[in-house]
Structure formats: C-alpha cells, structure tokens
Amino acid sequence: MQAIEAAFGLVFQWNVLLVIGGAAMFGLFVGAIPGLTATMAIALLVPVTFFMDPVPAVGAMISCSAMAIFAGDIPGTLLRIPGTPASAAYTSEAYAMTKKGEGEIALGANLLFSALGGLFGTLVLIVAAPSLAELALKFSSFEYFWLALLGLTCAVFIGADSAVKGLVSLFLGLLISTIGLNNPAGVPRFTFDNVDLTGGIDFIPAMIGLFAVSEVLRCMVHGAKDLPLPQTSVGNLFAGWGRMFVTYWRQQIRGNVMGTAIGALPGAGADIAAWVSYATSRKFSKTPEKFGTGHVEGIIESTSANNAALAGAWVPALVFGIPGDSITAVVIGVLYVKGLNPGPTIFLNSPEIIYAVFLIFILANIAMIPLGWAAIKGAKQILRAPRNILMPLILAFCIVGAFATNNSAFGVVIMLVFGVIGFLMEENDIPIAPCILGIVLGPLLEENFVTSMIKADGDFLAFFERPIAATAGVATLLIWFLPPLLRLRRRRATNGPAAIG
C-alpha cells in the first residue's frame, strides 16, 4: 500500500504530468504521419528522457507509444496509408468504410477500442507481472539463456516475410553486440584499436539511425511528396459506440486476449498482433464475406489487439528484462541507464516505480479518448505538415539525440552508419526489428551462456536439467525445427501421389 501511495506521489506532479502530456501529443503527431512509426517516435524521444527522472522518462515513453499506435489508424482510415506498421493490417478495410461515408464510425471504433485494448493489456500487466516476477526470482542463467534465445527466435519466425532475411537481420544485430570490451572474457573484439569502439556500439544512436535516419534517407531519395489531403470531413465520432460495444464484445475480448498474448511473447509486438487478430476475426466471423468491403468487425478486433499488445510487451520486459518488441527494447535500455535494472528484483527494490508504470498506462489510455478525438478532428492539419521541412527537422533532432547519449560526436557517426545500414536493409526487404533485438539481447545471451557453461563444466545437457529451462528450451527448439519438418512432410504428401500417378 505504501508503494502505491508513493507511486501516486511520483506520478501526480505537475512536471511529470506535463511531460506525459507532451509526449502524448508528440506520439499522436508522429503516429499520424505516414512513414514515421511508433518506434521512431520513441527513438527520437529517448535522448530527451535521458536527462529526466525515471518516472517521467518511462511515462513519456508509455504515453508516446500508446498514442502513436492509435494515431497510425487515422491516415490509414482517411488516406489508405497506415501511419504505423501496426495499422497496416486493417487499412484497406477502414478506407473502404471511409469511401462508404462511414469514416467516422471506423475512426470512432479505432479510438474506443484502442483505449479499451490498452486498458485490458494494462490489467493483464498489473495482474501477471508481479506473480511472474516471483517465479522469475528463482531463475538462473540457464532460464535466462533460453528466454533470450526464445525472444530472438520469435522475432525472426513470427511476422517476417522471409525467415532467412529475418535471421540475417538478427545475426547482424548479434554481431554488432559483440563489438567492444564488454564481454565475459573482457577481450577487445572488433575494435580495430579504436578507443571509441572499445566501449561497444551504443544502442541508442544505433537505433536512431536504423529507425529514423533511414527514413530521412529514403525521403531524400524518393523526394518529399506531400500527401493527398483527405476529402471527407469527419462527423460525430461517438456515434455508434454503444451499439458497437454491445454487438462486438466477443471480437473485442478475443482481440484483447490475442493482442496481449502476442505482445507478451518476447520478440513479437503490435504489428503482428494486428495481423493475426484481423485474420482470426475473419476466420471466426459469421459474415466473412463482408470483410474487405468496409466492415467494422475486423477493425474492432485488430485495433483492440495492437494496443493491448503494447502493454503486453511490458510483461517480459519488466519481469525478465527481455523486450517484447522493439519499443520495450528501448525502454529496457533506458531503465538500465537510470540504474533500474529490469528483472524480478525491480519488483522488490523499487515497487513504487512499477506501480507508477501501471498508473501511467491507465492514465495514458484514458487520456487517449479526448486527445485522440482532437487528433482526428485536426487530422487535416497534421497531414498537411510539409514533409520537406519535417524531414530536415527530424535529421537535426536525430543528430542532437545521438550526440546527447554520450555527449560525443562518435554517437553521431554511429547514427549515420546505422542510418545507411537501415536504409539498405529496408530497400532489400530485410526487417530491422530483429537487428535491434539482437543488439539488446546479444550480451545477455552470451553472458548467460558462458556463466551456465562454467557452472555446468561444459555439459550441454545442463541446459535441460531444470524444469523451466527445459520447457523454454524445448519450446525454442520446436519453433526452430517444427515448421521445416512440417513443410517437408507436406511436400512429401503432395509429391508422393503425383510420383506414383
């Protein structure tokens, strides 16, 4: 109880609330502009939060990401251009509703069910995280090794179009994480006698490069075309809320549960949750033929899912220090910088911070309704922001942010190099998110592997001797080997009769 009181004291200060509100508006703006993703909003926000206390810093990231994921629906509905990848799953559907003149119903559904989804995810976070943390206290290096590996595995195998390209991205990230002195053996690796490199690649400038600078470079190449302006004017957003809530409560709950679960899987986040939920909704719908023609059912389920996933992703991040998606990867980095090492001990040592996180999640999702309403009403103005001025400003902000993480120009160099890498990767359909998870989880993976091996005296079977480790290990191996085996069987099954006939 004391901790909860302390949490209220930490959150309800005018400067904290101001920061959270500011971050919310920033998130709405960035999320609503196509091409600028929620992760990019976070990447740009991090350097600013570096110099704040932990609670406002984390609060800013929570409200910014929640708003950005919702705001991605706005251009998706009005222009058929998703503002963030998490909205892509139902963009065509929502645009079809706009064309039928039901734009406000689609946007209203996005707003209501985004907020409710966020609240549901938060509820799960509140219930699940502390009990999981108790379990996690018993974890040793074996369990952490498998969890890290499971996270990386999910990042590659769920969601990526091509597993090989996901793997390439992941291994590049892992390779980058080996640079420097910071490894169990304390040996300088790949430093090329460069003093700056001995410290390793700082992941915040790297991420600013991968997610933000790459987008600026893409704009430099393709030109900064202005967006078409939405022609429709949005009517009463609250129309039909009651009816939708009553008619589609099953879809809503299914979306919430699915979203939270996918978000909580280490490595898979809101984008994937939306795709999976949209597909599920169609599969179980009584009227699947209406999907794609401007039917609100699938939108409700997937918009419930992507916001729920956001909170779900915080479960493994807080409890194990293993990010659920690329946004929580950043959050973990920031928590470390603040001296709050994520993991089960944070629940014992600073419970007031954890309660503050819960509180901010609730606040952000409630504030989403009025702020989101304003953003939808102001959508024309937001979408009119000239991109040829926006992009140089983003670049300027990237440079200062990369500089500020260590107060050294080397950060800017890292940022630029990773900007080019990210640009080339995206051009060739290599996803970026696994790379970031690789950079964050690489050291964790290596450290826990080496520690475990020292404990087990080089016996690999030790990784399967403890029950939880064994379960996680088997699950990881199944994800690796099951799909190719199934494919092989299916191929044999289809080839077999053909060969005989």
368-371 contacts, C-beta under 8 A, 24 or more apart: 368/24, 368/66, 368/67, 368/70, 368/111, 368/114, 368/115, 368/118, 369/111, 369/112, 369/115, 371/24, 371/25, 371/28, 371/67
Q: How far is CA 440 from each of CA 155, 158, 252, 327, 331, rounded to the nearest angstrom? A: 13, 19, 33, 12, 11
Q: Which residues, in sequence order, are bridge partners of residue 189?
A: 180
- Smaller CB distance to other proteins: residue 143 or 446? 446
Among 31, 34, 294, 372, binds other proteins (CB under 8 A): 34
Q: Which of residues 166-185 bind other proteins (CB under 8 A)?
A: 167-168, 171-172, 174-175, 178, 183-185
**Token reading at 237:** 């957003």
150 lies in the binding site for other proteins (CB under 8 A): no
**Interface map 359-398 toward other proteins (x if CB under 8 A):** ---------------------------xxxx-xxx-xxx-
**Nearest to residue 299, comparing CAs of 104, 449, 452?**
104
Choices 81-89, 133-141, 373-381, 470-478 (CB under 8 A): range interacting with other proteins: 81-89
CA distances from 252 to 66, 68, 259 (A): 18, 20, 10
Taking CB under 8 A as the criterion, the residue among 220, 229, 374, 486 binding other proteins is: 220
Nearer to other proteins, 27 or 173 (CB): 173
End-to-end Cα spacing for the chain: 73
| Of 80 and 380, CB closest to other proteins | 80
Nearer to other proteins, 14 or 51 (CB): 51
Residue 413 CB, shortest distance to other proteins, in Å, is 6
Interaction of residue 193 with other proteins, rule CB under 8 A: no
Q: At what angle do helices 433-456 and 141-157 cross, to 10 degrees?
A: 150
231 binds other proteins (CB under 8 A): no
- According to DSSP, residue 202 is labeled -
Query: Rounded to whole angstroms, what are the CA distances from 292 to 288, 289, 350?
Result: 9, 8, 48
Helix axes 387-406, 214-222, angle to 10 degrees: 150
**Binding-site residue total for other proteins (CB under 8 A)?**
66
420 binds other proteins (CB under 8 A): yes
**Residues found near other proteins in the complex (CB under 8 A):** 34, 48, 50-51, 79-82, 88, 91-92, 164-165, 167-168, 171-172, 174-175, 178, 183-185, 187, 189-190, 216-217, 219-225, 386-389, 391-393, 395-397, 399-400, 403-404, 407, 409, 412-413, 416, 420, 424, 427-428, 430, 445-446, 449-450, 453-454, 458
